[in-house]
Chains A and B, each alone.
Chain A
Amino acid sequence: MRWLLLKDLQILRRSPLLVGLLVVYPVLIAVLIGFALSKGPDKPRVAFVNLVPPEKNDFTIGGERLDLSQYSDQLFESIDPVRVDTRERAVELVRSGEVLGALILPADATERLQGTINLSGGDPARVEVLYNAEDPVKRRYVESAIEARLAEANQALSQRLTEVAAEYIDIIVSGGEFSILGQTFSVLGLERSETILRAAIASLPADAPERAALEQVARFAQLAAENLDISRPILASIGAPVEVEQTIVAGKRTPLDSFAVAVAVTISLMFVTLLLAAGMLALEREEHAFTRLVRGLVSRAALLAEKIGLAALCSFAVTLTMLAGLSLFVGLDWSRLPFWLAALALGALAFAAMGVAIGGLTREVRAASLLAFLLSLPVAFLALVPSGSVSAGLYDVIQVISAVFPFKPALQALNAALNDADPGLLRPLAHLAGLTVGFGALARLSLRRFG
């Protein structure tokens, strides 16, 4: 047993690439995840624009003056607000990915809120939420984050309004002073009305015109009716005193299930193509046929082109079949088939070129497969990290890494092909074509170096 162990250690010592990968890979992943967890913001970064003039910052509920900032502070407990002055600046930040979304408080927000509270009619108060829809996962994250925070603010307002409604009901039942539009009314209340009515009924003959008492009862009846009438909007406003208006700044709304299809197909495209291309090229070395082939039977460039072409063709067929199968469960637009074909073809070519670059560096199929796995998994993981979910510096690094591997542009191309999503089809296709050429050149160099 120990001799076998010693032998395997010797083999490992003579395989610096494998040992290096085994050491570097977990370290790299650990550092990456550590950075994401430690450097990422605790709260989602959301731009905040308050367009309410300072003199209109207050509103009154049940005679109590409240500052809007009390509620915005509550809103900011769970988000990291980036305060900006204009809507345009907020749009800019959302578009660039510096913030997850933006929350805009329009100039008439407090007026409308006061109107709702005063039961004077008109539209309810409304805040505008901007978000970037180029990534449906990110869009869902922003929506849920902001909706959760607004729900908390609404709950606080609702609680205060419920207290006001309770005071109204108390006045109706027990009587008291009631102020509205600067005027104070004295309300008898149902209990006292009942007492008066009972006394009047008991003391008067059936036809005695005790007008004053009856007049009071009539006024109370009128007020009671009016209060009952206005209780409906009060109760409605308790549910959601502030409404949300959503605006897409960049990208198009993509159904999450269609996006999931794009992700699933891109991941399959990546694995099938990479493993095939890398494995097939490494097999030429493993079978010792490489030197025989390049001795004039086939040029190195032709050998690479053959591997790229075959791997791309196989994965193209597999993923197209996969899309057809998925269309049975998810509504996909078959009229966009030519776009699907273009995205799959270019994606497959770029992954195949990356695969032969990996295959060119290795001498065995197993090593090629391992290397392909080790490279592709973190690349796919990084490409799916939404902007604003990690710190800006780290996100820039992720962007650069994602740009030099085919996963992200392939996903963008397929998402655009399936869902007409931003940034459209042409840009990612051009990106994929560039990566195909780049990785092809790298593979050719690796064959010269290691061939």
Chain B
Amino acid sequence: MAAVPATSQRPAALRAEGLSRRYGSRWALRAVSLEATPGELVAVIGPNGAGKTTLLQLLAGSLAPTTGAVERTGRIGWVPQQAAIYSKLSVEENLRLFARLEKVGDVEACVERMLDQTGLRDRAGEEAGHLSGGNRQRVNIAVGLLASPQALLLDEPSSALDPRQRSVMWEFVTSLTAEGTTVVYSTHDIAEAERHSDRLLVLADGDLLFDGPAAAFEREAGDPDLEVAFVRFLKERGR
């Protein structure tokens, strides 16, 4: 996978400038700036409480920043960590509902396309509450893709999936980036971030500590093993 530097000359699909968010007296995120180009796959990693979810929520527009701004050139798809779909509705009904709320032109065609893309056609009539965690997550991602967004934001998308389901999901996400969709996701899994990213964003205590390809991060941390490099990197910076 080709590394795309943060300062790419390609037009950005998503750009944030000086993003900060405060909860009471605690800063969850401090002055984070970034941009992502079309087709780029960006992994956001960091320890618990680093500000990963806050960053994605700010980029998605579901949370207002305390300071800073986000510039979006097209539609943004948002996939929260926990499946944000209705348990009592079937897969098809969920897709139809959100397609209508997204004001998609041809709702039925869009639902059909998503059922094919997610491989859930044979489960289309099943209540979402009866699906496995992996399949619920597929519906969750499908809802985020209904409006054919230019950028897709995923908050820990693989956390509830088994290895086989993860593999299927990453195949699907990779196919999206190949078609030009920008994907920004957060994860705790360092190996996953190394395997599935063009660029890494390393957050700790609300600060952006690194923005670049995984290989550059390993060099900076002085260890070829990304997980070891990550721990050392944080330790050296007192995090």
Contacts and interface: CB of A to CB of B under 8 A. Distances in A.
Interface of A: 287-289, 291-298
A304 B87 CA distance: 21
B110 interface: no
Given A292-B143, A295-B78, A287 B86 contact: yes
B61 interface: yes
B183 to A, nearest CB: 17
Contacts of B60: 295
Contact of B61 (A288, A296, A298): A296
A90 to B, nearest CB: 59
Contacts, number: 33
B175 interface: no
B132 interface: no
Interface string B68-101: 0000000000101011111100000000001001
Contact of B101 (A288, A291, A297): A297
The 7 A-B pairs with the shortest beta carbon distances in the complex, nearest first, are A295-B62, A297-B101, A292-B84, A288-B84, A288-B82, A289-B84, A291-B62
Nearest to A291: B62
A18 B40 CA distance: 46
Contacts of A293: 101
B102 interface: yes
B122 to A, nearest CB: 24
A225 to B, nearest CB: 92
Contacts of B98: 292, 297
A293 B78 CA distance: 10
A294 B82 CA distance: 16
A287 B80 CA distance: 11
Interface residues of B, number: 16
**Main secondary structure on chain B at its contact with chain A?**
loop
B137 interface: no
Nearest to B83: A288
27 contacts: A287-B84, A287-B86, A287-B87, A288-B80, A288-B82, A288-B83, A288-B84, A289-B85, A289-B86, A291-B57, A291-B78, A291-B80, A292-B62, A292-B78, A292-B80, A292-B84, A292-B98, A292-B143, A293-B101, A295-B61, A295-B62, A295-B78, A296-B61, A297-B98, A297-B101, A297-B102, A298-B101
A287 B62 contact: no
Contacts of A288: 80, 82-84
A296 B146 CA distance: 14
A296 B86 CA distance: 18
Interface of B: 57, 60-62, 78, 80, 82-87, 98, 101-102, 143
A64 to B, nearest CB: 84
A295 B57 CA distance: 9
Contacts of B83: 288
A74 to B, nearest CB: 68
Nearest to B81: A288
B58 to A, nearest CB: 11
A294 B86 contact: no
B84 A291 contact: yes
Contacts of A296: 61
A287 B101 contact: no
Contacts of A294: 62
A287 B61 contact: no
Contacts of B57: 291
A288, A292, A294, A295: most-surrounded residue (chain B CB, <10 A): A292
B184 to A, nearest CB: 15
Contacts of B85: 287, 289
B205 to A, nearest CB: 24
A293 B87 CA distance: 16
A289 B87 CA distance: 11
A161 to B, nearest CB: 77
Nearest to A298: B101
A235 to B, nearest CB: 77
Contacts of B62: 291-292, 294-295
Contacts of B84: 287-289, 291-292
Contacts of B82: 288
Contacts of A298: 101
A112 B84 CA distance: 83
Contacts of B61: 295-296
Given A292-B98, A295-B61, 14 more contacts: A287-B85, A288-B80, A288-B82, A288-B84, A289-B85, A291-B78, A292-B62, A292-B78, A293-B101, A294-B62, A296-B61, A297-B98, A297-B101, A298-B101
